Amino acid sequence: MPRSFDAIIVGAGQAGPALANRLTAAGRTVAIVERHLVGGTCVNTGCKPTKTLVASAYAAHLARRGTDFGVLAGPVGIDMPTVAARARKVILDSRKGNEDWLAGMPGLELIRGHARFAGPRDAQGRYTLEVNGESITAGQVFLNVGGRAHVPDFPGIEAVDYLTNSTIIPLETVPEHLVVVGGSYIGLEFAQMYRRFGAKVTVVEQGPSLIGREDEDVSREVRDILEAEGIDVRTNACCIRLAPHAQGVAVGVDCTEGSPEVIGSHVLLAVGRRPNTDDLGLDVAGIEVDGKGYIKVDDHLRTSAEGVWAMGDCNGRGAFTHTAWNDYEIVAANLLDGADRKVSERILGYALYVDPPLGRVGMTEAQARASGRPLLVSKRPMSRVGRAVEKGETRGFMKIVADAESRRILGAAILGMSGDEAVHGILDMMNADASIDTLQWAVPIHPTVSELIPTVVGDLKPA
């Protein structure tokens, strides 16, 4: 006979354990099924280890700049086994923290294995899932299955060894020449990181610019920052192909300028993500997906099958740890607290963790202009931010876009030191639906990057 639970959660990433905690605290029995590693992408192959590696790369970069600050030291070396071990410890500590959290939840069973729907909802309003040859049932199912690196079918890809964001993390050697295919968020973080570890790095991007979803001035400044550190950037790579080479891998690019081929010792594929939805039996349960495999959800994160929700990267409504966590908050509030929270109410913020980082919230300037509304725009270079000058980190700028009629902020970009932190002052104002006048009269702490936000607001002019 199938084992029965009140709820089944498939996937122990960011949203799953948190929801399990709320459900078990409410007295419900819960099975959480995890086929790989507890903690999901963030803990095991994403935020935790990559930002640990970024920190090591920043330490090396700052050490090399010691003479700029009057600090005299010898040549800087990189001990990659120690760098990798540091990242590995962060992973293991975080994963254990999640596992211990689950173990302490009364009414919860963690099942290791791959879950698949056995069919549609039955007459009793329950779903049956198969795991390791065993059947489990519940009236509510929550999918938190995450995503993985997309591996495109570039010509020759089957003949070469390549890295992804997952397999590059445990690397204990510095590549002689790392070719990063993909000039967006993940690729650029690894490109700068490994350049600072001592590798020659080339970024190959099919589009005309890096991080194509961002404004042109942001993309251009990020490229300037990377090129200033010695990273080669090849955009308009219209014909990417891979082939074995005596020195490693040959990456064909056919760009309009420069050599039509880049030879690297290693190649990292960073060309997007895909959801882990292709082997769950979604079709037999009546759960619809879009053309890219993302589970279709409504504003409350309900799928097309009654009693099934999808949270996190697999629903295509956000590709970040914090949006997955917010998905959990929405589902839990609506189910357990009688709320009516919606995904469409979410104001999206995110960051690109190159150095200096890019903090972003809301619309880009291009998106705001395309909306046709009257705009106010203000931009200030980081070279005019006292805190940045004091720390010798003056690359980048701050930009705010507002609606001239409602006097509400539509979006902002802070590309500069502490940009990932400072942008929260703007994000919070947008969540509070406060006018730019309220923000302009705030009294921030000096000296900080955030203290310039009211000044930037005061400089808003019609676009």
Give the count of beta carbons closer than 10 Å to the beta carbon of residue 156: 15
Its sign, for the CA torsion 214, 215, 216, 217, is negative
CA pair distance 269, 12, nearest whole angstrom:
26
The catalytic residue among 61, 300, 424, 446 is: 446
CA pair distance 287, 307, nearest whole angstrom:
11
Report yes or no: 165 and 149 within 8 Å, Cβ to Cβ: yes
16, with CB counted inside 10 A (0-12, 13-18, 19+), is buried
Query: CA of 275: how far to CAs of 46, 54, 157, 343, in Å?
Result: 15, 25, 21, 19
> DSSP labels for 396-445?
-EEEEEEETTT-BEEEEEEESTTHHHHHHHHHHHHHTT-BHHHHHT----
Report yes or no: 172 and 165 within 8 Å, Cβ to Cβ: no
Decide if 446 is catalytic: yes
Which contiguous run of DSSP H or E holds residue 229?
Answer: none
Cα end-to-end span (Å), the chain: 67
* Radius of gyration of the chain measured on its C-alpha atoms: 24
The neighbouring-strand residues paired with 400 are 378, 412
Q: Catalytic site residues?
A: 446
